[in-house]
Structure 1
């Protein structure tokens, strides 16, 4: 059963927003403050992150317009490079996305547990229990169908953005007393500190590239995917800049560097004593939205791989009524739960997740140069094309490789882990091809 288009432009815009805004914005500003130690560098990191993300959005919007297909992120690499390289990159991308979902869910559990669990359960075990329950709730919602998932996503995303806007009211209600906290300057060079700050910023900004996985699900994909990406990115940048300005105005750099309960502190200014409960609700909604959109997206990558025969055919089975991939969805959720059982904290997965993300995104952006040559017949047909080409994709690629090098310099082990993941993906690819050939013979 093939996938049929059922998502409109508003659906894809909300998907973009939810792919990017998890709960990271309530945690990573503290990481950025710790890694910069300076007000100017703190805001510079977020501005650079926004500008580079726009460059990436322009690039992937054209990719989505030129090559709209289900599982587009995998298909893109297979078409522009080689199926083996496509599998390796997407294997790593899936690992990174899965780790990101686990990391975001763990952040949400930190906020939710004081509201729903007794004091004795407010520990690492309690965090894992809460996170697993949240993932399973969204898993069952997705069984109801792709359109139901999209409607749920729209509702959760609108509610989440509205709640974040309410938190920003703290700027007008706070006396700024927390700004007396003394900021701590990080060790090392300014360039190295800025590079590591961008790691946290890009972790908070990434995810929109997965929009091209819905090429087969979107009505009039060549027009609606680029417009949905632009609208979604614009909303995200506006939200992030407002939240970070509010954090600084209320807490100051010293308060940000304490890196605990940032959203709760803001909520207490706006809502008073019940602020912590309001924050817990916001975290719960954020986690549900982020997990839901990834359960929608990642199985589409499995679908594309199964179409090429590098994953078993069961991964491309689609329920004709609901348009869901029951097995692919179940496999992804099981992998998230496995990571949650072995990982305990947000910090453990941040550098590894963004290292994988940066590699995949940079090679994805490089593909635009190949794609333009191979789809010349689309020029002048009205599809979206990047203005200031090739400057825009080049800016994106160079900055992302700066982040990759920064992670490697600070944590060489990340490179070894990544190379190991690539090698594993390559072995799986050729094993699948060998088994398929043996079955035919």
Structure 2
């Protein structure tokens, strides 16, 4: 039984925008602005990263159209490099990356719920688990229902963010004069290389998540039309939101007054809405985090589902629910692993160990375009993959230079998946390794 194709353009684009626009939109601009010290430099970094992300979106759209199946990067890596590389990516996703991101977002939402409701610290401890269980249930009982809820939440999030920008100017609290001088760096800015390197890495991870839509390609209606529109349109929307929100922030709170990223949210809220500013901004942040968490928990289980269908994972996770038409067991696994990450409480540190490997897998997936038997015949080829690979290489190098030990330990963790791979259907794996990758 195959998953039903129930997702349209709006739902698929919501995955792209939902994962990208989460907690970082309220924190990253302040960090970047403070270190760069120049509105022009800030715009240049955002636009440069938007070009890299757009090139990546073009690559992933082509791959998703060629291989419109559940799994995303797992499928692209399998088709391009064989089962071993694909399994290492799937192992990283299932064991560390996906549960860690979901747990981090769930925990990140708690302080904002507390500021709205005034919950006790004892009650707040159960909120992350409650968030994950509710989203797991939503994804379990139906793709159509969960995609509609996710699309609604993410469209509302984008509308709220643009309304926030509009109110900043209409209310008279924003002044374009706060951006001047555009090019001059403010006192207290970091050294050139450190500032640009840090801002570039922050921008890359702020855009991160646009590739998740490929994991749901097996449930997208008319994939040849829907997927390119969702990937490219989603990245353009994310770019517009980041540029608009970043400069609205700076028009309200000048760079010279930025103390820290967390204090900046309170500063911005109090200027725009007075004493109620903290609650208003908390509501906006909570909506952004909820949209990102919905998209993430919906996309992640499709990797485990695809692995199980290949015989590279426990078969039980490759089953479709007879009533709901969802990869229900894979959803349960994703939810359980995220709950386990909550118990360990160290997911933020674990994520630091796999970021380097994640960037490498992202680049490898795009590079599989060069290995296709049927060459890519698009106006953007080969420029787009070259730009994206160059950008990903720079990011990986910056991550490696900034903190080499976690990066190298993370590589070791990923490679350890090669030992686990021997546990799954040895006969199937042997035959898969004997065959050439089935490139299209």
What SS does structure 2 have at the residue aligned with 1:59? helix
Q: Structure 2: how far apart are the matches of 1:255 and 1:132?
A: 37
2:363 corresponds in structure 1 to: 362
The CA RMSD over aligned residues, in Å, is 2.8
Q: Deviations over 1:15-64 (max 9, x none)?
A: 22112212221122233235434443333221111111111111111111
Q: For residue 382 of structure 1, what is the aligned residue in structure 2?
A: none
Counterpart in the other structure of 1:174: 173
After the TM superposition, which residues 252-267 of structure 1 pair with which residues of structure 2 at under 5 Å, given as runs? 252-267=254-269
Moved more, 101-110 or 317-326: 101-110
Give the whole-Å Cα distance in 2 for the aligned partners of 1:353 and 1:281: 31
Report deviation, 1:427. 1.5
1:424 aligns with 2:421: no
How far is 1:13 from its partner?
1.5
Q: Which residue of 2 aligns with 1:143?
A: 140
Task: Structure 2: give runs of 5+ residues left out of the alignment.
Answer: 181-185, 431-440
Which residue does 1:198 correspond to in 2?
Answer: 200
Q: Does 1:393 align with 2:395?
A: no
For the 8 Å contact 1:71–1:212, the answer to whether it is kept is yes
Does the 8 A contact of 2:73 with 2:362 survive in 1?
Answer: no
Structure 2 CA distance for aligned equivalents of residues 363 and 257 of structure 1? 39
Residue equivalent to 1:244: 246
TM-score by length of 1: 0.87
What is the CA deviation profile of residues 416-439 of structure 1, one whole-angstrom value per residue up to 9, with x for unaligned ones?
Answer: 22212222221111232438789x
Residues 108-147 of structure 1, C-alpha deviation per residue, up to 9 Å, x if partnerless?
Answer: 22322222234x52xxx77653322222222222232100
Q: 1:365 to 1:80 in 2, by over 3 A?
A: same
> How has the CA–CA distance of structure 1 residues 403 and 307 changed in structure 2, closer, same or farther, with 3 Å as cutoff?
same
Query: Retained in 2: the 8 A contact 1:103–1:345?
Result: yes
Partner of 1:409: 401
Report 1:60-99 matches (<5 A): 60-94=60-94, 95-99=96-100
Identify which of 167, 186, 189 aligns with 1:185: 189
Is the contact made by 2:54 and 2:235 (CA closer than 8 Å) also made in structure 1?
yes
**Unaligned segments of structure 1, at least 5 residues:** 380-384
Match of 2:111 in 1: 110
Q: In the alignment, which of 276, 298, 301 is matched to residue 299 of structure 1? A: 301
Q: Is the 8 A contact 2:9 2:229 kept in 1?
A: yes
Quick check: 1:288 aligned with 2:329?
no
CA distance in 2, matches of 1:38, 1:90: 40
Deviation at 1:270, TM superposition (A): 3.4
**Whole-angstrom distance in 2 between the partners of 1:178 and 1:171:** 13
Shift of 1:303: 0.9
User: Contact conserved, 1:113 with 1:130, CA < 8 A, in 2?
Assistant: no
CA distance in 2, matches of 1:28, 1:203: 9
8 Å contact from structure 1 (residues 160, 286) kept in 2: yes
Look up the SS of the partner of 2:262 in the other structure.
coil
Q: Is the 8 A contact 2:57 2:231 kept in 1?
A: yes
> Are the equivalent residues in 1 in contact too, given 2:140–2:332 (CA < 8 A)?
no
What is the CA deviation profile of residues 326-381 of structure 1, one whole-angstrom value per residue up to 9, with x for unaligned ones?
A: 221121122222223334696x467546424311211111111112xx235xx7xx
CA distance in 2 between partners of 1:57 and 1:428 (Å): 32
Alignment match, 2:315 = 313
The answer as to whether partners of 1:8 and 1:219 remain within 8 angstroms in 2 is yes
Cα distance in 1 between the residues matched to 2:263 and 2:250: 14
State the secondary structure of the residue aligned to 1:318. Answer: coil
Q: Following TM superposition, by how much is the alpha carbon of 1:298 offset from its aligned partner in structure 2, in angstroms?
A: 1.0
Whole-angstrom distance in 2 between the partners of 1:426 and 1:106: 31
Aligned residues: 422
Aligned to 1:16: 16
Q: Which range moved further: 283-292 or 61-70?
A: 283-292
Give how far 1:265 is off.
Answer: 3.3
